[in-house]
Amino acid sequence: MRFRILLSTVVLLLATTGAALSEPKRVLLLHPFGRDFVPWSQYGKTVREELLRQLPEGVDLYETSLVSARSGDGEEGPFADYVQALFAKRKPDLVVAISSPAISFIQKHREQLFPSVPAVFMGVDQRRISRIDLTRHDALIASDVDFNLIIENILKLLPNVTNIAMVLGSSPNERYWSEQMHAELKTFENRVAFTWFNELSFEEVLRRATMLPPNTAIFFVLLSVDAAGVPHEEGKAMARLRAVTNVPIFGYSDVFLGQGIVGGPLISVSSVGQQASGAAVRILGGESPASINTPAIRPGTPKYDWRELQRWGISESRLPAGSEIYFRSPSPWEQYRLQIGAGIAALLLQAAIISWLLVERRRRHFAQTEARNRRREVVRLNRVTTANVLSSSIAHELNQPLGAILSNTEAAQVLLKADPPDLGQIGEILSDIVRDEQRASEIILGLRNMLNNRTEADLRLVDLNDAVRAAVKIVALEMERRGVVLRTLLSAETLTVRCDPIHLQQVLMNLVMNGMDAMDGEPRPHNLTIRTRRNAESDVVEVRISDSGKGIPKGDLTGIFDAFVTTKPQGTGLGLPIARTILERYGGDIWAENRQRGAVFSFRLPLTRMQAE
């Protein structure tokens, strides 16, 4: 029976112990003014998040605020009774007190509330707490604000500053700091003047901030409760001050970095919160608070808000070496690196393509110029060849006027010897000599024009019928020598085209000479017909030159106008390609076809607009 009772007792004790071990740790988080007063609200937020993260079994967190700290004249007894009642059945496992008012409350009422419960004191400057006031149940996470360093930073960034406006509230805690800073900043009396706003309502502070004199800066220290007794939560005072001030704002805590202060040597809120939560976790794990010795947290690497530097025109060259700059607007390269890189690559590719195209264009221009020059030279050589073939005809043409000139000159000499000389007959002879000389000059001029290179300036309106007559006149003797019978069927109307008459004459002579060559060695008669007409439907003029030769082999019809293609043993294969090139230059075309006996070459040229109208 006794054994059963003992066994039941052990089981009950184990169950009770297991239940106790499974319960989450109970933590009291005590705020000085309220949960939303900056910077202490950020301390509480960091501790809250870290405890929930580092304690996997969970934490039973109680948060409350010492409202009486706002004015200092409130009675703390009722609040102490409230806290005692809150934890009447089960004491907290840990107390975390934020800022000196909350720490002072815990120290004052500890024996009444929970004398043996460990505590973490945080968010307090080391000036406010003497370590001799700490018990073995307390761990201190203090900070050390260096006001002299902050003022030096302001004067370094703004060397022309002659006045610093000090923004503080009027709660007991803030009045303490006003007295403390008055004493510590006396070293700057000969360098800068201080204007204190702690005796003003915040509305008056805002009014004065809009009209501060030049070379002034604002040092925003604390503003929990202003001189009118108005509390300011969630850091809204900083936002309103930044919106109206005409001078830069500085502070001591990085809680306002990004909210309006320029920056400088700042106390890191996250560092304080993380060290406090780390101490809390160690204590909840069984470590003694007295063994946790954390040195005071001093300002770290200077931090600055890039936007405020830009707003107030503060050069980054004035910042201390190693400073960290936050909220820098990304450069276009940083923000659109891929897009800019792709754009630059596209531009470079485009530039390369354009450069290549320009080079190719230049090369093509030179090639076209060279081709034109060579084509003109080939055309000229073709004319020289034609002139060489027609040399006997040209010589005959020249011999006629020259012979006439010689005969008339001899006759004039005879008449001059008569006594008296027949001056009337001599005058007629001299007129004949002048006419024959002009005829010889025209022949030589025509030959020279045919042999010279032609330019665009040589283009003019030409009657196609006249061009046919001129060409026939040149080759007439050659036709007579070869026994060719020529028939010309010219249009009754004037067929005007715009071209170089020598080029047109060259085309006609090439086709006529080809026709005569095609009839060499063939049975007679050797007939050559030249026909001109106007095509009213397409508004062009057409020339057809037909022969009675052996025709063009079917296999050569498609390539007869290609360069160096010829059916003549001594041919160069350039006459017909040159004729096509000339005609295409003036907007015309040429083709060849066979007929029952011989072949016919036809070409067309546009009728001039004047003629068409």
Strand order in the sheet with 540-547: 484-489, 526-535, 540-547, 599-606, 589-594
Pick the closest to residue 515 from 542, 564, 481, 552 (CA basis). 552
Q: Tell me what the mean pLDDT of segment 128-153 comes to.
A: 88
- pLDDT band at 477; cut points 50, 70, 90: confident
Helical ranges in 23-76 per DSSP H: 40-54
Count CA atoms within 13 Å of residue 429 on its CB side.
Answer: 18
Averaged pLDDT of the chain: 83
pLDDT score for 612: 41
- CA distance linking residue 561 with residue 384, whole number of Å: 20
Residues with Cβ < 8 Å from 171, sequence gap 6 or more? 33, 69, 70, 71, 72, 224, 225
Q: Is 79's pLDDT higher than 50?
A: yes
3-class SS shares of the chain: helix, strand, coil, % to 5: 50, 20, 30
- CA distance linking residue 203 with residue 294, whole number of Å: 40
Long-range (24+ apart) CB contacts under 8 A made by 154-161 are: 154/217, 154/219, 154/250, 154/264, 155/191, 155/192, 156/318, 156/320, 157/262, 157/264, 157/314, 157/318, 157/319, 158/215, 158/217, 158/248, 158/314, 160/215, 161/192, 161/215, 161/216, 161/217
pLDDT score for 339: 87
Strands 526-535, 540-547: pairing is: antiparallel
Residue 94 contacts residue 287 (beta carbons within 8 Å)? no
pLDDT score for 375: 65
Structure confidence by residue, pLDDT tens digits, 559-578: 788 765 565 655 556 778 88
- CA distance linking residue 142 with residue 298, whole number of Å: 9
Sign of the Cα torsion 409, 411, 417, 423 reads negative
CA angle 83, 87, 90 (to 5 degrees): 165
- CA distance linking residue 114 with residue 192, whole number of Å: 49
Residue 463 contacts residue 508 (beta carbons within 8 Å)? no
Task: Identify the CATH homologous superfamily for domain 456-613.
Answer: Histidine kinase-like ATPase, C-terminal domain (3.30.565.10)
Better-scored residue on pLDDT, 16 or 345: 345
User: CA–CA distance from 234 to each of 42, 44, 219, 307, 568 (Å)?
Assistant: 10, 13, 19, 22, 108
- Secondary structure of 470-537 in HEC code, one letter for each residue: HHHHHHHHHHHHHCEEEEEECCCCCCEEEECHHHHHHHHHHHHHHHHHHHCCCCCCEEEEEEEEEECC
Residue 516 contacts residue 477 (beta carbons within 8 Å)? no
Residue 195 contacts residue 163 (beta carbons within 8 Å)? yes
Q: For residue 54, give the 3-state DSSP assignment.
A: helix
User: CA–CA distance from 501 to each of 377, 466, 588 (Å)?
Assistant: 18, 10, 15
Q: Tell me what the mean pLDDT of segment 126-135 comes to.
A: 78
Structure confidence by residue, pLDDT tens digits, 218-249: 999 988 888 888 888 767 889 999 999 999 99
User: What is the total residue count of the chain?
Assistant: 613
Lowest mean pLDDT among 15-29, 386-400, 420-434, 554-568: 386-400
DSSP string, 173-193: HHHHHHHHHHHHGGGGTTT-E
DSSP state for residue 72 in the 8-state scheme: S
Q: Say which amino acid occupies 582.
A: I
What pTM did the predictor assign?
0.56
- CA distance linking residue 379 with residue 248, whole number of Å: 87
DSSP state for residue 546 in the 8-state scheme: E
- CA distance linking residue 269 with residue 540, whole number of Å: 96
**Cα(first)–Cα(last) distance of the chain, in Å?**
142
147-266+299-329 is a CATH 3.40.50.2300 domain? yes
23-143 is a CATH 3.40.50.300 domain? no
Give 183's strand partners.
Answer: none
Give 29's strand partners.
Answer: 63, 96
- CA distance linking residue 452 with residue 221, whole number of Å: 100
CATH 3.40.50.2300: which residues of the chain?
23-143, 147-266+299-329
Sign of the Cα torsion 37, 38, 41, 45 reads positive
Report residue 459 as tokens: 């283009």
Q: Tell me what the mean pLDDT of segment 194-204 comes to.
A: 93
- pLDDT band at 610; cut points 50, 70, 90: low
Report residue 108 as tokens: 């004052």
Structure confidence by residue, pLDDT tens digits, 305-335: 999 999 999 999 999 999 999 998 887 877 7
CATH 3.30.565.10: which residues of the chain?
456-613
- CA distance linking residue 386 with residue 471, whole number of Å: 12
pLDDT score for 597: 87
DSSP string, 76-102: SHHHHHHHHHHTSSS--SEEEEEHHHH
Q: Say which amino acid occupies 448.
A: R
pLDDT score for 16: 43
